[in-house]
Amino acid sequence: MVFLSERSRNTPPSPIRRLSRFAREAKARGVLPYALNIGQPDLECPASFQEGVLQAASRHIEYAPSEGFLSFREAWAEWCERELAVSTDPDHYLVTVGASEGLVFLFTTCCDPGDEIIIFDPTYANYMGFAEQTGVRLVSLSSRFEDGFQLPEPETIRKHITSRTRAILLCNPNNPTGVLYGEEEVQRLLDLCHRYGLYLLLDETYREIVYDQQPITSALKFATEDPHVVVVDSLSKRFSLCGARIGTLHVPSPELREKILSLAQARLAAPTLEQQAAEHMLRTLPPGSLEALRGCYQARRDCLLTALQEKGSAAGISCCSPSGAFYLLAKLPVENAEEFARFLLTDYQHEGRTVFLSPAKGFYSIPGSGEDEVRIAFVLQEDSLRHAVEILVEGLSAYRS
């Protein structure tokens, strides 16, 4: 027996990866799962990133500065200006090892152990893990499948603000629901934060992935200088660069930035080659490349929704149409969606294929929520999505009989 800290024991396994062992075993048996469980885009990253890697390759890989290369931060600020028509100061950015590290830095610097952050259930599951690591208590307010996962009224949120509340955290567009919150909704949260002296932490990892020509919402557009607002960002999704591990924090408050920098110095630096390659990419990306990306995911979303309506609704599957990110939550006619997702990997196959889904209950922190839901990531081509829905429907019928 070895000693394990309470913090590590309380950190939940990722619901996105928890069933991976069964997927590996299925593959070993010759059954290939459609991986709809993880937000790992199948699209290639921009060719200019690959060029950047070759240009950056050197036999002397030095540490980058802890705050990130200035030239990368300048390229990032210029890219944000081109995409969002906002002017941001490169010195307000800190480069992190993905958005994940940025979030851990924020939980650590904005809160003491026992302090609270308000979140909206369901939300990105790893927030629960970050909270356990840092001793932060997440106070979850539920948003409901039945009304399209809209945010609670400010008055309801206000009732949950205590003397220990330090921040409100919003993922926009939301993983796992795909809901895109507009500027007015974000502004309402910001008003509350101003009233009670809280931080507003905005996770904009999926910011440009929005559908139906809707405007992109970003706090960078209207709260660029607000010391209470931090925008968390990542190169992982919009550039298909999950493995590059580059994220940024936009932190207007000099005091908060300095404290985050102290944490960043303790971990030395974010990856050197990836920053250099990403800088080259940002400076040379052809205009309109995100338009193509949005078009591609929108076509996949539409294909998935059509397949679910045509084949899934008769089988008792219902879902909300996402307006952003590349996920949707589906309600299944089963009591325990985790058991069903596992069954698909361990006991079911159709002509050598099956489907790998994320049970949604791990995205809820209110116990008992989301038991009959799964998250589907539409990160595969349309033919695969259609086939995956067929398998899902047949698998459901096999499971229920």
Ligand X SMILES: Cc1ncc(COP(=O)(O)O)c(C=O)c1O
**Residues found near ligand X in the complex (CB under 6 A):** 39, 98-100, 124, 171, 175, 203, 205, 234, 236, 242, 247
Question: Nearest-CB residue to ligand X?
Answer: 98
Task: Identify the helix (H) or strand (E) that includes residue 250.
Answer: strand 247-250
Distances 228 to 154, 189, 257 between C-alpha atoms, Å: 18, 11, 12
Task: Identify the helix (H) or strand (E) that includes residue 137.
Answer: strand 137-142
Measured from the CB atom, the residue of 98 and 271 that comes closer to ligand X is 98
Q: What is the largest distance, in Å, between two alpha-carbon atoms of the chain?
A: 61
Q: How far is the CB of 205 from ligand X (least distance, A)?
A: 4
Cα–Cα dist 384/42, whole Å? 12
Starting at the earlier edge strand, list the strands of the sheet with 358-359.
Answer: 318-319, 327-331, 373-377, 358-359
Measured from the CB atom, the residue of 247 and 312 that comes closer to ligand X is 247
Strand 165-171 to strand 199-203: parallel, antiparallel, or no bridges (unpaired)? parallel
Measured from the CB atom, the residue of 189 and 396 that comes closer to ligand X is 189
Measured from the CB atom, the residue of 143 and 349 that comes closer to ligand X is 143
Q: How far is the CB of 384 from ligand X (least distance, A)?
A: 20
Q: How far is the CB of 171 from ligand X (least distance, A)?
A: 5
Q: How far is the CB of 234 from ligand X (least distance, A)?
A: 3
51 CB-near residues (< 8 Å, 6+ apart):
277, 280, 284
Measured from the CB atom, the residue of 172 and 298 that comes closer to ligand X is 172
Q: Which residues pair with 137 in a beta bridge?
A: 116
Measured from the CB atom, the residue of 94 and 307 that comes closer to ligand X is 94
Burial readout 155-172 (b: 16 or more C-beta within 10 A, e: otherwise):
eebeeebeeebbbbbbbb
Q: How far is the CB of 375 from ligand X (least distance, A)?
A: 11
Measured from the CB atom, the residue of 240 and 384 that comes closer to ligand X is 240
Nearest to 127 by CA among 97, 106, 149: 106
Q: How far is the CB of 43 from ligand X (least distance, A)?
A: 15
Query: Half-sphere exposure (CA, 13 Å, Cβ side) for 325?
Result: 29
Q: How far is the CB of 324 from ligand X (least distance, A)?
A: 11
Measured from the CB atom, the residue of 31 and 379 that comes closer to ligand X is 379
Q: How far is the CB of 6 from ligand X (least distance, A)?
A: 25
Please state the φ and ψ torsions of residue 398, each to the nearest 5 degrees: -65, -40
